[in-house]
Structure formats: C-alpha cells, structure tokens
A and B are shown apart, each in its own frame.
Chain A
C-alpha cells in the first residue's frame, strides 16, 4: 500500500481535509490520501466568497471520473477567498494538494475550533485505521 504525505505543520479533519492557519486566516484543501482515493479529479465546485459556513457543513463538491464527493467545512467562518484556478485545472488537486491545489480560505469564527482537529500523527492513525 502506498504511503501518503501528511505534513507535520498542518491539522486535519475526519473527512480528509487539511487546514493551515496563518495570520488569522485558515486555508483548506484535501489531503494526499483523499486525492489518491479519488483518483483523477475532473471537476471542483466551490462556494462564493462571503458565504458563512458552519463546521461540518458541505461547502463544495469534488468529482473524479467515477465519483462525486462532498467537501465539508473543517471549521466555522466566512469564506474570504476561493481557488478559482481549479475551475480550469482541477487536476492541480492531484498534482499539488497541499500547495496550488488549495480550495478555500476561511476567516474563522472561533480559532479554538482548530484545536479539535487531528494533528499529523493522529491523522496518520485515522488513515491507517481505514486501510485494509
């Protein structure tokens, strides 16, 4: 079974999103494990800037050739930016999920919600628990 990249400086949701908190803003994407499970990503649907989302709420959709998956908000807050490049080049999520494949940036309602997310070693265990 392939190994997946899990950067130590990020936090992770149960639904396989990563978050990076910087200067009061939280960037969100999907993990290497998630993009590997999905396979070739061919379409990403993201919300409008300005929308407020609740932790756990679906905020977008990601589609591979065969499957449609919801994206879930890892924390609550207002969407302040979306990665518009993914409309034209969704494959960037496969190529660089922790970099140019980011999806949305959130102004968090309550930064303490970040504490409830997995750290890298807990997320690695979460991934392992779902592999055969």
Chain B
C-alpha cells in the first residue's frame, strides 16, 4: 500500500469543496467546482493553486554553482542573484531525470524546484553528482516549504493589496524575498499556466495563513481557488511539458522541443555528449502540437495515425477551454512535425482528423476562441 501524503492546505481544500485525487504521491485538489470555470478564471482574472507538493532542493557552498552547471542543461554561472531559469536534469544517456526551475539565491547558493513525483529520485541524483560534500551542501527542504501559485492577468492587482514589494519592476523569471500578507515569502514571477502570475514560497507552517490572505484579498477581484485539473488544461494550452508525459528518463530535452533551455555549445553538463550524439544521428521522433478537426478528444496514450499507419502516440490531450476545440501534444516522425501537416488520432477505433499547429496553442492575452487557431 502506498501512503498518500497531503499538503498543509488539505483541510482548506476540503472546506472549499475540493475533490481530492492522487498526484505525485500526494492527495491533491483536482477541482473545487468546475474545471472549465477555474480555467476561465485564470485566463480572465486570477486563480490560486496549491502546489506545495512540489519539491525544493537546495545547494549551498563554494562548489554549489559549479555543481549545478554539471547537473542542469541551462546556464547557472551566468544566472543573476534574484533570477530563475528553466532547465532539465539529464542522465548520462541524455534522457531527462526531471525538468526543474533554478533559483539563484546568492553567489554560492541556489535551489531547484522539482516535480513532486521526482523529489526522492532527484535528491539522490543530485547528491550523487554534486561532488565534494565539503564544497556543496545538498538539502531537501520539500517538506518544510509551502508553495502557492497565483496566476492570471489580475495576479499583480491581488498582490498589490498585500505587499510593499515593487511588483511592476519584478519581471518574468525574477524573484524577490520579502513580506506578503505579513508572511516571509520568496515571490517569483513564474508559473505553469501561460498566464502572468507569481509563485510564492513560504514556510510550510505559514502556507495556510498566506492562502487565506490571498483569497480574502483577491475574492473581490474574482480570484478563485483552482485545482490540478485546470492547471493541466492551462499548461497544455501553453504547450508546457509535464514530466511523465512529454518527458521521461529516456527522452532528451531536444526531442521534446526544449533546445532553447539546453546549453549544448558550452557543454559540461551530464548527458551533454549523449544529447549531441543523438542530435548528430538525427532524432527519430519529434513532439508536435495538434488540434483535432473532428469532434472528440485526444487523450494521452492514443495512437497518432498517418496514411492509415500508426506513427506515434499522444502524450497529452484535452479540450482547450480557451479555443473551444481539442488540442494535444504527441510524438510523430520528424517528417510529420511541420505546421499544417495532416494527421489522425485513433480514438476508440476511429481515426479523427487532426492538424499540426504551432505552439503554444494559446498566447498570453488570449481570452477566447481565435479564428483559424
């Protein structure tokens, strides 16, 4: 039997009427009422997500930055204090151990925000490859850190009621430490929804107080709690990968379309040689975004079909509430990844017509169906 964990906000979720489901070893709110309404709130106003299940692994010491340069695909030495970068931890074969965000806390300190399902795997991997423990102290603070994501075009207006931190100056992928609603937080202008917004890291013991203060201040502006169901449709509209779907231990970040987060030229990170070799040989598959032209919904695991033959697999699929049609990501042969290519998705034995489109499916500011999208 697997013991499911809960975040400190579990009681608050239940009080809001949440339906709780297993995700990444945690019992998490999938929806409070309607996923479509929560999705729309984030696109039009603001939504508040509990993402305390995610992990935080800190590296500190004179060797911390060099260790991180070996561990992740994105540059770390050039990352300013107060800045965040997205990257991947890769294995020696060039597969992806996890996708993470890197927060530069100080000259000799940073942390990785990692996926809940990968916290233990990542921690072991990082400890094993961080080098001399006298030069780098690795610490898993996941259980002590609460994390909420305030996402949507009104997120800044909600926060303005609760903090003196300069919000307009806080650019995307930057963070500041300070007080929000009287709580000590690390406030980061990041998210996983394709909307403007913030993620607030706070002591796990204070996350309930922060959550309540944000909802109270944001309620009049239309802020609602939003669950993992809406988080998934939002991230898919933004074509952001989800570990276990678009990424796994066998998949290189380049295959998954993440080349701009991989410092191939500089090299030096674990898996770099293998990724270069895989690139030189030519990838056998590419991740494509598609929209369905026939009624129906593509789901993870469905086959992608071309000229009557199964050529690939859907990694993520859902109805797009913003576009009003079904969208998905999936593996196709590189020759079928070009925009406009006609493919099909086999759903319960029927081939539904689909077309490869540019991603993201929805760009910031999109609030409704776009013609020709």
A interface residue numbers (CB < 8 A to B): 39-40, 42-43, 45, 61, 63-66, 68, 87
Q: Are B296 and A65 in contact (CB under 8 A)?
A: no
Interface locus among B30-38, B136-144, B152-160 = B30-38
In the complex, 9 of the A-B residue pairs with CB atoms within 8 angstroms, ordered by the A residue number, are A42-B319, A43-B319, A45-B348, A64-B35, A65-B229, A65-B318, A66-B30, A66-B35, A87-B295
Q: Which of chain B's residues 312-345 have a Cβ closer than 8 Å to chain A?
A: 318-319, 321
Residues of B within 8 A of A (CB-CB), count: 16
Q: Is B299 interfacial (CB-CB < 8 Å)?
A: yes
8 closest A-B pairs by beta carbon, nearest first, are A65-B35, A42-B319, A40-B36, A40-B34, A63-B297, A43-B297, A66-B229, A40-B35
Q: Are B296 and A45 in contact (CB under 8 A)?
A: yes
- In the complex with contacts A39-B31, A40-B34, A40-B35, A65-B299 CB distance below 8 A: no
Q: Is B96 interfacial (CB-CB < 8 Å)?
A: no
Q: Chain A residues near B299: list those with CB within 8 A.
A: 68
Contacts A66-B229, A68-B299 known; 6 new A-B pairs at CB < 8 A: A39-B229, A42-B319, A43-B295, A61-B348, A65-B36, A66-B232
A64 to B299, CA, bound (A): 12
Q: Which of chain B's residues 125-164 have a Cβ closer than 8 Å to chain A?
A: none
A63 to B347, CA, bound (A): 12
Instruction: Considering the complex, give the chain A residue whose CB is closest to the CB of B31.
Output: A39
Q: Is B233 interfacial (CB-CB < 8 Å)?
A: yes
Contact with B34, one of A39, A61, A63, A87 (Cβ below 8 angstroms) = A39
Instruction: Considering the complex, give the chain A residue whose CB is closest to the CB of B232.
Output: A66
A66 to B28, CA, bound (A): 15
A63 to B321, CA, bound (A): 14
CB distance from A90 to the nearest CB of B (A): 10
B interface residue numbers (CB < 8 A to A): 30-31, 34-36, 229, 232-233, 295-297, 299, 318-319, 321, 348
Label chain A's interface by main secondary structure.
strand
CB distance from B73 to the nearest CB of A (A): 31
Q: Chain B residues near A40: list those with CB within 8 A.
A: 34-36
A76 to B146, CA, bound (A): 54
Q: Chain A residues near B318: list those with CB within 8 A.
A: 65
Q: Chain B residues near A39: list those with CB within 8 A.
A: 31, 34-35, 229
CB distance from B295 to the nearest CB of A (A): 6
A11 to B40, CA, bound (A): 37
CB distance from A114 to the nearest CB of B (A): 29
CB distance from B229 to the nearest CB of A (A): 5
- In the complex with contacts A65-B233, A66-B30, A66-B229, A43-B296 CB distance below 8 A: yes
CB distance from A87 to the nearest CB of B (A): 6
- In the complex with contacts A65-B318, A65-B319, A66-B35, A42-B30 CB distance below 8 A: no
CB distance from B6 to the nearest CB of A (A): 16
CB distance from A92 to the nearest CB of B (A): 14
Q: Chain B residues near A68: list those with CB within 8 A.
A: 297, 299
Q: Chain B residues near A42: list those with CB within 8 A.
A: 36, 297, 319
A63 to B297, CA, bound (A): 8
Instruction: Considering the complex, give the chain A residue whose CB is closest to the CB of B318.
Output: A65
Instruction: Considering the complex, give the chain B residue whose CB is closest to the CB of A42.
Output: B319
Q: Chain A residues near B34: list those with CB within 8 A.
A: 39-40
CB distance from A60 to the nearest CB of B (A): 11
Q: Chain B residues near A66: list those with CB within 8 A.
A: 30, 35, 229, 232
Instruction: Considering the complex, give the chain A residue whose CB is closest to the CB of B296.
Output: A43
CB distance from B230 to the nearest CB of A (A): 8
CB distance from B23 to the nearest CB of A (A): 12
Q: Chain B residues near A61: list those with CB within 8 A.
A: 348
A61 to B295, CA, bound (A): 13
CB distance from A91 to the nearest CB of B (A): 9
CB distance from A84 to the nearest CB of B (A): 12
CB distance from B352 to the nearest CB of A (A): 11
CB distance from B373 to the nearest CB of A (A): 17
Q: Chain A residues near B321: list those with CB within 8 A.
A: 65
CB distance from B356 to the nearest CB of A (A): 22
A111 to B34, CA, bound (A): 38
Instruction: Considering the complex, give the chain A residue whose CB is closest to the CB of B228.
Output: A66
Instruction: Considering the complex, give the chain B residue whose CB is closest to the CB of A65.
Output: B35
A28 to B130, CA, bound (A): 62
CB distance from B327 to the nearest CB of A (A): 12
- Residue in A45, A61, A63, A66 with the greatest tally of chain B CB atoms within 10 Å: A66
A83 to B297, CA, bound (A): 19
